[in-house]
Amino acid sequence: MSLLLTICALHFVAQLTPGPDVLLIAKSSASTTRLNTLKIILGISAGIVVWVVLTLLGFTVLVEQFPWIQQILMLIGGFFLARMGWGMLKEGLTSAQTPQLEGTLTLPNGQQKYFLLGLFTNLSNPKTLIYFSSVFSLALGSSANANLKTQLAFIIPLQTFLVFSLFMFIMSTPKIKALYQRSGHYIDILSGALFLVFALWLWYDAIQMF
Look at residue 111 in the predicted model and tell me its pLDDT: 44
Contact 165, 51 (CB under 8 A): no
Contact (Cβ atoms closer than 8 angstroms) between residue 25 and residue 164: yes
pLDDT at 103: 46
Which residues in the chain land under pLDDT 50?
A: 101-103, 107-111, 142
The reported pTM is 0.79
